[in-house]
Structure 1
């Protein structure tokens, strides 16, 4: 006539799949269960890193061109900033892929070039008395000729600095 003790839980409460009776219970004093932490961000997305770097390159080119157009001078630290922003964006968004630094450097070269053309067009538009958009979009060949005439060794140094900054910025951001 001896009977065994009843189980520690009531038959009316459902048991979790892992047989832990306390798994779905909230901590003492809490009205609900703690939130589940968010999934970690995927860090190695090369395509997204390249797209973000391209967007940063377009914005940086426009800003660099406006700086040149307003000051009527090429500014070396601005070219370094263009490259660094592109590389930083590629590395932060895309991760540790070594291709991001190389593509970031190439985008920095293009961005500095476009920025210099924008600046050249702003300066030329002021001198000739036409709108920037008319000169830049309808007479792009003239803008390129003016850029070639104004290019000097310092211009190409800015290209190199921007490419180096983009490459190193991508590596630092991904670390």
Structure 2
């Protein structure tokens, strides 16, 4: 039994012998000799125009201050929970509060000279508020009352307890938080 032999030549060609005419390629690729992945001429993008990158939201003082306020409230709550949980003041936590407030303000607001000062003031408030939250957490564990009741209904009692318990370390922690906030805002504003 014999097998069929294919006819000589390319069965898919149009019958003309030799190569394809110059500039024509049946597969839609560039003609022979041109690299489809080669370099584009200088100044041209081979993939089309890209839209310009959006400008970073920097040097926006209002947004920087708003960010610092939010960071101050969040870090005050965390600081207070730590203080109430371990029932002691921690200096590095106050530094962390201040640095977080300043860094957030500088990162969003840019290098405006107002932001470090505002950050330092807000961090003073955040450390103070965190100390009040810590007193409320401690008192809620000690007396079996709810934290929210103590913090929102007995706020005057918390401030009196803070006044009686304050010592030089309390003011040192307030100052450390303010210095860290000032420094954090300067560093974050200078970056980028």
Matched residues, number:
148
Counterpart of 1:92 in structure 2 is: 107
Counterpart of 1:155 in structure 2 is: 170
Counterpart of 2:18 in structure 1 is: none
Please state how far the C-alpha of 1:35 moved relative to its aligned partner: 2.3
Please state how far the C-alpha of 1:43 moved relative to its aligned partner: 1.5
What is the rounded CA distance, in whole Å, between the counterparts of 1:51 and 1:104 in structure 2?
10
Q: Which has the larger radius of gyration?
A: 2
Counterpart of 2:127 in structure 1 is: 112
Please state how far the C-alpha of 1:127 moved relative to its aligned partner: 1.2
Match 1:139 to one of 142, 151, 154: 154
CA deviation map 1:1-50 (0-9, x unaligned):
xxxxxxxxxxxxxxxxxxxxx9xx862xx4xx242231221411000000
Counterpart of 2:81 in structure 1 is: 66
Structure 1 unaligned spans of 5+: 1-21
| Aligned: 1:78 with 2:100 | no
More helix by share: 1
What SS does the aligned partner of 1:141 have? Answer: helix
Does the CA contact (< 8 Å) of 2:98 and 2:177 recur in 1?
yes
Does the CA contact (< 8 Å) of 2:140 and 2:150 recur in 1?
yes
Does the CA contact (< 8 Å) of 2:57 and 2:108 recur in 1?
no
Match 2:71 to one of 46, 56, 66: 56
| Aligned: 1:41 with 2:49 | no
What is the rounded CA distance, in whole Å, between the counterparts of 1:99 and 1:121 in structure 2?
33
What SS does the aligned partner of 1:74 have? Answer: coil
Counterpart of 1:14 in structure 2 is: none
Moved over 4 A (4+): none
What value does the CA root-mean-square deviation take over the aligned residues? 1.5
Residues 42, 134 of structure 1: CA spacing in aligned structure 2 closer, same or farther, 3 A cutoff?
closer
Structure 2 unaligned spans of 5+: 1-40
Question: Normalising to structure 1: TM-score of the pair?
Answer: 0.81
